[in-house]
Amino acid sequence: MDLVEAFKRPLLYLVLGGLMAALPLGEEPHLLGKLKLLRTGHLYGFMDWFDLALHGLPLTAALLYLLISLLQYRKVS
């Protein structure tokens, strides 16, 4: 299996997950703001937790998918 072919989809997911984590592009990203609120203990409402999940889960899932693909590629090679 070619290295580029093995990581084409995981890298696409990583780019899309990173873009979702970086939104909105013009100001401070929501994910960073929500992580700051989480660190200081000020995530109170449902919308705060929902926004954290909305912007954080795609990047987390993409990183896990990339890690699993890397482990499978090393196992096959």
Give residue-wise pLDDT tens across range 9-29: 888 888 998 888 888 888 888
Q: Rounded mean pLDDT of 30-48? A: 91
What's the rounded Cα separation, in Å, for the pair 58 and 41? Answer: 23
| Listed range (44-53, 55-64, 68-77) with the worst mean pLDDT | 68-77
Per-position DSSP letters for 13-25, written without gaps between them: HHHHHHHHHH-SS
The model carries a pTM of 0.77
